[in-house]
């Protein structure tokens, strides 16, 4: 199984970025997908998640209204559209996959089976 994130970079505060995560080696449409981020010296935190069929999305309060998650099961990809970026959004962003029927809070990074290497997002003030 491989998850590969892309789309990170340097952007000014108030700008936008779209991250993508491409999955292979798994039946993508059966997995709940999550985005997490980790800033230097901080724990990995939940950003948002999307159900296996894309019908439901969930967001951390810190990004609600600014970030949008979508998925394309035909292409085995998920996107994270980030608008109105703030310096505090600076982090390495990871996508993670968990079986849709797995129990346990999807906000916890420990409740995922697969994850990618991450992509750096830097927001300058």
Condensed to tens digits (0 to 9), the pLDDT of residues 9-29 reads 999 999 999 999 999 999 999
Contact (Cβ atoms closer than 8 angstroms) between residue 40 and residue 92: no
CA 82, distance to chain mean position in Å, is: 10
Q: Which residue has the higher pLDDT, 104 or 114?
A: 114
Read off the pLDDT band of 70 (50, 70, 90): very high
- Position 46 scores a pLDDT of 98
CB-based burial, 79-115: b 16+ in 10 Å, e otherwise: bbebeebeeebbbbbbbbbbbeeeeeebeebebbebb
Read off the pLDDT band of 103 (50, 70, 90): confident
- Tokens 């981020």 belong to 37
Mean pLDDT in residue range 78-95 = 98
CA distances from 88 to 12, 30, 34, 98 (A): 12, 33, 19, 27
Q: Is the pLDDT of residue 111 over 90?
A: yes
- Position 101 scores a pLDDT of 87
Token representation of residue 124: 């300058």
Read off the pLDDT band of 42 (50, 70, 90): very high
What is the overall mean pLDDT for the chain? 97
């Amino acid at each position: 199984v491989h998850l590969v994130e892309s789309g990170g970079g340097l952007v000014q505060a108030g700008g936008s970025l779209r991250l993508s995560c491409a999955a292979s080696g798994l039946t993508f449409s059966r997995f709940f997908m999550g985005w997490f981020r980790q800033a230097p010296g901080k724990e990995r935190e939940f950003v948002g998640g999307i159900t296996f069929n894309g019908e439901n999305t969930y967001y951390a309060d810190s990004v609600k209204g600014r970030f949008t998650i979508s998925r394309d099961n035909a292409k085995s990809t998920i996107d994270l559209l980030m608008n109105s970026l703030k310096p505090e959004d600076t982090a390495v962003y990871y996508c993670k996959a968990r079986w849709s029927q797995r129990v346990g809070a999807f906000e916890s990074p420990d409740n995922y089976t697969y994850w990618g290497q991450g992509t750096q997002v830097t927001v300058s003030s």
